[in-house]
Amino acid sequence: MSAEEFKQQGNKLFLAKDYSAAIDAFSKAIELDASNHVLYSNRSACYASLREYQKALEDGEKTVSLNASWAKGYGRKAAALFGLGRLNEAEKTYEEGLKIEPTNPQLQKGLQETQQAMESEASAGIGQFFGPDTIPRMASNPKLAPFLSQPDVMEKIRAIQANPNALNQYMQDPRIMTIMMGLMGIDARGATAEEAASAMETDAPEDTSSKQEEAKKKKEDEAKKEEAIKEQEMPSEEDLKKKEALAAKDLGNAAYKKRKFDEALEHYGKAWDLDPTNISILTNKAAVFFEMGNFEECIKTCEQAIEVGREHRADYKLIAKALGRIGTAYTKLNNLPEAIKYFNKSLAEHRTPDILAKLKETEKAKATADREAYRDVNLSAEARERGNALFKKHDYAGAVKEYTEAIKRDDADPRAYSNRAACYIKLMAIHEASKDADKCLELDPKFVKGHIRKAAVQFIKKEYDDCLETCQQAKELDVDRKNAAEIDGQIQKVYQEMNRSYQRRDGESDEEVLKRAQQDPEIQRLLADPAMRAILQQMQEDPQAAMAHMKNPKVAANIRKLVSAGIIRTG
């Protein structure tokens, strides 16, 4: 067993008033943890309960030496001093403890009882003047001798001799006061023996049970001592149950890690019975059900944890943990909407990266599931046909809507993207058209219409070289020449636009046209290209070489661009 376990055992035994067994338990705890001041304090309480005050004092002093800032240690030491009758030291020790914790009720009460005992002891000290030689001393004192013949006075003197504290009961009798002062050597100017006797005739004492009073007072004093040394920092029964619950929970955690799920559930059940306010026990129990694949029971247990947690105002982090676990359980049940709902609830209580990642992942999975559920190839074809009909009527916006529906129903068909790109081009939504053309070719790189749509976008963006290259790719893929007219038409438009860019302006000379052309970045790029410069050099030396180079579509496009710009002259 650990020191903490021996301590808990000692606490239980103390509450059961089995002080000897409790001392044994605390002693074993001290052997394992000799620096724990509470262990010495608790053992001091046990020794004091057995009235072994010297041992109680030793443990009390050890408590204070280990932790001089702990007020209760001074209370333990003072109670032992009180039991040993060292009241002055007890009073000082209580006062030291109250300097640390002025409002400590146990220290305040202990100090009050000590001071009362000191006052009582002071009175008993005066009573010591009525010693064994009281009668001879009175007989030798002419003023006190007459009192020897008064029976009630002699009875009171004998009572005081037996118990000096009894003096307080008889102080109202002027004869006792006169005798006491005479024995103290004080010449009291009080009543004579005869006067005192006369004064007391009508007030003769009726109480002859001084011994019973003495026994009763002694019993009361012992009871006060018992109360003064009672263990104030001992845990309550509820605290002990909570500690037992934590111990059972730890056993459950250990079993869980070893995947001994039935054993873990048993320990968690015991822990919950001992402390039905600690919702972490329930969330751990829910984790076991999750690992066992019992997701419904996991959700049910977490819901119970949340209900209890709200009632007892549990830490919001624990509430968030329970909500997150419910969300995870719902993902396993493939109930993604509920999972998303509980992940959001968890994040509202406490935002953690783990739950946030789970939320995003679940939302993505739900979107995919929704798309798959919506997928229908036949309905996609129908929507695409409706889009074609609207396109022919020049209702491009309506056609976009139908093509979008076709894509939602079947996002693997490149035709819907190609057709929607054509609509966007008509609507001059160039960015959207470019994205659809790229997506179309991503799905099918050999789809001729996709290349035609891409070339059209490039033409609008004045990317003429890229447009010609894309058209060339389209021509190579169009083996049955179904799209030849559309492709050639796009190429012709590129050349026309390129020629228009370099047309001679009114009043412009050949030199001015050439200079303006040379300022064009594209012309500069071509003239700076070593390969193109080599071709131009070869064409200059051998005009027949131009025919061979013109067979290369890209070189032919560059040559036509240079001709249009006036860099190369023909005829």
Residues 353 and 336 in one domain: yes
pLDDT at 465: 81
Q: List C-alpha distances in Å: 19 to 42, 230, 233, 264, 375.
A: 10, 12, 16, 35, 78
Question: Of 89, 104, 125, which residue is a domain's last?
Answer: 125
Residues 307 and 347 in one domain: yes
CA-only gyration radius of the chain, Å: 54
Question: Of 473, 501, 529, which residue is a domain's last?
Answer: 501
The phi, psi pair for 144, rounded to 5°, reads -95, -25
Q: List C-alpha distances in Å: 206 to 151, 170, 502.
A: 13, 12, 144
Query: Is the Cβ–Cβ distance between 166 and 160 less than 8 Å?
Result: yes
**From CA 344, how far away is CA 323, in angstroms rounded?**
9
Residues 137 and 177 in one domain: yes
CATH number, position 396 = 1.25.40.10
CATH number, position 532 = 1.10.260.100
Residues 109 and 147 in one domain: no
Here the tokens at position 358 are 């789970």
Structural domain contains residue 332: yes
Residues 387 and 409 in one domain: yes
Residues 365 and 379 in one domain: no
**From CA 476, how far away is CA 464, in angstroms rounded?**
19
Question: Of 373, 391, 421, which residue is a domain's last?
Answer: 373
Structural domain contains residue 147: yes
Residue with token string 């056993």: 251
Residues 411 and 490 in one domain: no
Instruction: Mention every residue, 6+ apart, whose C-beta is less than 8 A from residue 234.
Output: 11, 14, 15, 42, 45
Ramachandran assignment for 293, one of left (phi > 0), alpha (psi -120 to 50 degrees), beta (any other): left
Residues 7 and 93 in one domain: yes
pLDDT profile of the chain (571 residues), mean per 10: 89 88 93 92 91 92 93 92 87 93 88 81 60 80 85 84 73 77 59 42 38 61 57 64 90 94 94 92 94 95 93 90 95 95 94 94 93 91 96 96 95 95 95 96 96 95 88 93 93 80 57 68 79 82 74 75 67 50
**From CA 49, how far away is CA 283, in angstroms rounded?**
43
CA 408 to chain centre: 43
Here the tokens at position 42 are 């608790």
| Total domain count, the chain | 6
**From CA 181, how far away is CA 175, in angstroms rounded?**
10
Query: Is the Cβ–Cβ distance between 286 and 305 less than 8 Å?
Result: yes
Structural domain contains residue 245: no
Q: Which of 31, 46, 81, 35 is nearest to 61 (CA)?
A: 81
Residues 288 and 395 in one domain: no
Secondary structure letter of residue 165 according to DSSP:
G
Structural domain contains residue 71: yes
Here the tokens at position 72 are 């209760």
Structural domain contains residue 380: yes
Helices 484-501 and 464-477 meet at what angle, rounded to 10?
Answer: 160
Structural domain contains residue 415: yes
Residues 109 and 189 in one domain: no
Here the tokens at position 411 are 């996002």
Structural domain contains residue 47: yes
Structural domain contains residue 319: yes
Alpha helix ranges (H) inside 312-447: 316-332, 336-349, 353-374, 377-392, 396-409, 414-426, 430-443
Query: Is the Cβ–Cβ distance between 47 and 56 less than 8 Å?
Result: yes
Domain residue limits at 320: 277-373
Residues 120 and 18 in one domain: yes
Residues 323 and 218 in one domain: no
Q: Which of 323, 330, 403 is nearest to 365 (CA)?
A: 330
